[in-house]
Chains A and B, each alone.
Chain A
Amino acid sequence: MDVSAATIAAAATTEQGLRLLGAGLAAGLGVVGPGVGMGLLFGSSIESIARQPELRGEIRLNMFIGIGIIEALALYALVVALILLFVVK
């Protein structure tokens, strides 16, 4: 991002401001849900490993699948923010 004073002044229209605000809200609020979901996932997987340590490998496998799917949701929010920043004029 160009941070010289001229470009900051040029970007100061309402459209541009709302666009940046939308990008910030998308990236920020979009990771609340997946964050809570990740916490629940790790909590329950650690608890179940503690209950039955011999199933460690299976639980770890399913945990990684869960991580991949939940993280994808958080990244959709980031992709929306990137689209607002770089693709929408």
Chain B
Amino acid sequence: MRLLKRIPLWGWAVVLLGLLVGLFFIPGGHKATFDVSGEFILHPIIRLPKLGPIDLSVTKAVIYEWIAVGVIVVVALVIHRGLSPRPSRFQTIVESLYELAHDGIAGAVMKGEGAVTWFPYIGSAFFFVLMCNVVGLIPLPFGTGHQLAFYAATGNINVTITLAALTFVFTHYAGIRQKGPVGYFKSWVIPAPPFLKQFIFLSDVISQIFRLVSLSVRLFANMLAGHFILAVFFAMVLVFQSYLIGVVLQVGSVAVFLFEIFVAVIQAFIFAILSAVYIGSALEEEH
């Protein structure tokens, strides 16, 4: 034992280097193939009838959404049961998330009464997207053949386009309710020379429709690309036939996974705050 304490730092560096070089010379396993895109195909689990073009079957994405909603409901009930003026650590975390949604997102971007009216939607969107993204980083047995696999419900364009469509509908509903239908569309017109006025109105219409696309594609592509990279990093060890690259890839996989957690939280925040900005800009008085 005393001998181990007398080894200097450079001695340990030599040992580590020797281990890595030794790993390089161990013959690796046999080459295996992997199909990254297989995880993203959805098979219906409970078959329900089609309603016109919309298929109502319960697939993996639907179950993951239910799990996210279940987590939110359980956390809310537990916190509600045990609310105390000297909060536990868990209560502090949930309270700071709630404060972020209430003051940081809805209160900071929408003025006054708009924040009070629309905070239920903004807060729900924030928590739902956050939970969907985070639950997508927990391995659950929904992979092919009941293996443990990652899957984010928001990595499916149908889920994100529904959320973006909700924001879109609420934006125009808020504007029309506040200013009346004609007044709302008149607020998109700014005083300008006659030919330019029509052009600006047209480009405003196009940008409003494009908000639907951009909101949904941003969340979808972030989650999809993130899980793609995650799957490639985790499975790349099968392609190279050496243990040394396996060790290096484990470190890389951990780094990518931490980055994915960061991206999950940021994307929820960005979705909520852009929804708040859109609804707030439909509610504001002057142009």
Q: Which residues of A does B touch, CB under 8 Å? A: 1-4, 61, 64-65, 67-69, 71-72, 75-76, 78-79, 82, 86
Contact = CB atoms under 8 A, between A and B. Distances in A.
Given A64-B273, A79-B217, 18 more contacts: A1-B35, A61-B273, A64-B270, A65-B270, A65-B273, A65-B274, A65-B277, A67-B270, A68-B270, A69-B214, A71-B218, A72-B214, A72-B221, A75-B221, A75-B225, A76-B217, A78-B221, A78-B225
A3 B232 CA distance: 13
B281 interface: no
B104 interface: yes
B218 A75 contact: yes
Interface residues of B, number: 22
17 contacts: A64-B269, A64-B270, A64-B273, A65-B273, A67-B266, A68-B266, A68-B270, A68-B273, A68-B274, A69-B214, A71-B218, A71-B222, A72-B214, A72-B218, A72-B221, A78-B221, A78-B225
Interface of B: 33, 35-37, 104, 108-109, 214, 217-218, 221-222, 224-225, 239, 266-267, 269-270, 273-274, 277
Contacts of B218: 68, 71-72, 75
A82 B226 CA distance: 13
A67 B239 CA distance: 35
B270 A3 contact: no
* Across the A-B interface, the 5 shortest Cβ-Cβ residue pairs: A68-B270, A75-B221, A72-B218, A79-B221, A72-B214
A67 to B, nearest CB: 7
Contacts of B269: 64
B85 to A, nearest CB: 26
B104 A61 contact: yes
Contacts of B36: 1
Nearest to B33: A2
A75 B217 contact: yes
Contacts of B239: 3
A79 B33 CA distance: 25
Contact of B266 (A1, A3, A64, A78): A64
Contacts of A79: 217, 221
A56 B36 CA distance: 42
